[in-house]
């Protein structure tokens, strides 16, 4: 008698857990990896005998990752899941911050390409353009909010995850390790700044800076829409007169917060050992001056 009862309880709570997992709480979930067909089966009427179909061998894994307030960093740079698992990941964006973030799992070496491809999607499209390189992603989470995604773990290996909000991916990243028997060699963690090794500063500005500062430097790039404060217009002669080359140089490399400015201006740590490129960027910023 008591044994039957406890069995029913276990089954009941399993159903609750499955239902809770499928429903989520942020209301605005998107994501190609969302469709978890097996979950639909849990709606079988309670009169049916236990598990009419042998359930697929799915291990469910719950992951929680945070964006640290006012920084462009995840609070975990490594996540591990078993091969074949169904992964439910919740991203929470810490409260005092002002930045929006997402979590995008990508194929190794495609970080920059995925971030660039996501730009035209804009904030409404979560800065993600679905494609073969995007394995799973959460929608953007607002400060103090969460967003989530459910997806099937990819084959064993190491996969980069990034925030694809404009300018964040260079530092806002980590690695998802899918543990299991590795048949083929692990994908090499690609050099993070591969395509940027010897770029013309102009190309760098056109790909990285225009996102927020706009093609004419007045601060009207697509990434600026959600920024507060907005990037100032580089055309502002008074600002040009007050800013030293050294300050502009440092702002570019170290980012806004290091210079007492907003975190909306991301650092560019990959340029720290490329002073010539940064000097060229300073010259580009100067060239927008009017009046």
Binding site for ligand HEC (CB under 6 A): 166-167, 205, 208-209, 211-213, 223, 227, 229, 231-232, 243, 248, 251-252, 256, 261-262, 264-266, 268, 281, 285
91 interacts with, out of Cu ion, ligand HEC, none, CB within 5 to 8 A per kind:
none
Smallest gap, in angstroms, from Cβ of residue 252 to Cu ion? 19
Report helix, strand or coil for 285. helix
Instruction: Kindly state whether residue 107 participates in binding Cu ion, applying the rule CB under 5 A.
Output: no
Closest separation in Å from C-beta 196 to ligand HEC = 11
- Closest approach of Cβ 26 to ligand HEC, in Å? 23
Q: CA 78 to CA 196: how far, in whole Å?
A: 25
Q: Which does residue 223 bind out of ligand HEC, Cu ion, none, counting CB within 5 to 8 angstroms by kind?
A: ligand HEC
Beta-carbon contacts of 272 under 8 Å, excluding residues fewer than 6 positions away, are 253
**Which option in Cu ion, ligand HEC, none does residue 213 bind, with CB closer than 5 to 8 A by kind?**
ligand HEC
Q: How far is the CB of 284 from ligand HEC (least distance, A)?
A: 7
163 binds, among ligand HEC, Cu ion, none (CB under 5 to 8 A by kind): Cu ion
Q: What is the DSSP letter of 188?
A: P
Residue 253 within binding range of Cu ion, rule CB under 5 A:
no
Of 83, 80, 38, 84, residue with least CA distance to 63:
80
CB of 40 closer than 8 Å to CB of 66: no
Which is nearest to 267 in space by CA: 280, 282, 285, 249? Answer: 249
The separation between CA 80 and the C-alpha centre of its own chain, rounded to angstroms, equals 17
User: From the CB of 101, what's the least distance to Cu ion, in Å?
Assistant: 3
Interaction partner, residue 268 (ligand HEC, Cu ion, none; CB < 5-8 Å by kind): ligand HEC
Q: Which residue's CB is nearer to ligand HEC, number 29 or number 286? A: 286
Interacting residues with Cu ion between 63 and 102 (CB under 5 A) = 101
Element (H, E) at 135: strand 134-137
Question: Distance (Å, rounded) from C-alpha 212 to C-alpha 111?
Answer: 19
The reply to whether omega before 229 is within 30° of 0 (cis) is yes
x-or-dash string of contact with Cu ion, 154-193, rule CB under 5 A: ---------x-x--x---x---------------------
β-pairing, 78-82 vs 173-179, is parallel
Supply the DSSP symbol for 37: G
Exposed/middle/buried for 238, CB within 10 Å: 0-12, 13-18, 19+? exposed
172 binds, among Cu ion, ligand HEC, none (CB under 5 to 8 A by kind): Cu ion
217: left (phi over 0), alpha (psi -120 to 50) or beta: left
Give the integer Cα–Cα distance in Å for 153 and 178.
7
- If the CB atoms of residues 117 and 281 are measured against ligand HEC, the closer one turns out to be 281
Contact status: 213 vs Cu ion (CB under 5 A): no
CB of 193 to ligand HEC, least distance (A): 13
Binding positions for Cu ion, rule: CB under 5 A: 101, 163, 165, 168, 172
């Amino acid at each position: 008698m008591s044994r039957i009862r406890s069995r029913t309880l276990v089954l009941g709570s399993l159903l609750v857990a499955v239902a809770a997992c499928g429903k989520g709480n942020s209301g605005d979930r998107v994501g190609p990896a969302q469709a978890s067909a097996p979950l639909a089966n849990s709606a079988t009427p309670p009169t049916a005998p236990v598990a009419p179909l042998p359930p697929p061998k799915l291990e469910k894994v719950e992951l929680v990752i945070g964006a640290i307030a006012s920084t462009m960093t995840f609070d975990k740079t490594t996540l591990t899941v078993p091969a074949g698992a169904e992964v439910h990941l919740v991203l929470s964006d810490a409260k005092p911050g002002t930045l929006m973030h997402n979590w995008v799992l990508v194929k190794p070496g495609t970080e920059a390409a995925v971030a660039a491809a996501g730009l035209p999607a804009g904030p409404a499209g979560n800065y993600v353009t679905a494609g073969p390189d995007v394995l799973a992603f959460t929608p953007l989470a607002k400060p103090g909010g969460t967003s989530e995604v459910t997806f099937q773990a990819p084959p064993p290996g190491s996969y980069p995850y990034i925030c694809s909000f404009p300018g964040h991916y260079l530092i806002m990243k980590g690695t998802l390790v899918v543990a299991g028997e590795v048949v083929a060699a692990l994908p090499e963690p690609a050099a993070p700044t591969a395509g940027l090794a010897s770029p013309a500063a102009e190309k760098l500005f056109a790909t990285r800076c225009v996102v927020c500062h706009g093609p004419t430097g007045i601060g009207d790039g697509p990434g600026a829409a959600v920024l507060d404060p907005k990037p100032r217009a580089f055309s502002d002669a008074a600002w040009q007169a007050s800013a030293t080359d050294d300050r502009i140089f440092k702002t570019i490399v170290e980012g806004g917060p290091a210079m007492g400015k907003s975190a909306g201006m991301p650092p560019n740590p990959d340029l720290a050992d490329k002073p010539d490129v940064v000097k060229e960027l300073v010259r580009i910023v100067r060239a927008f001056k009017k009046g």
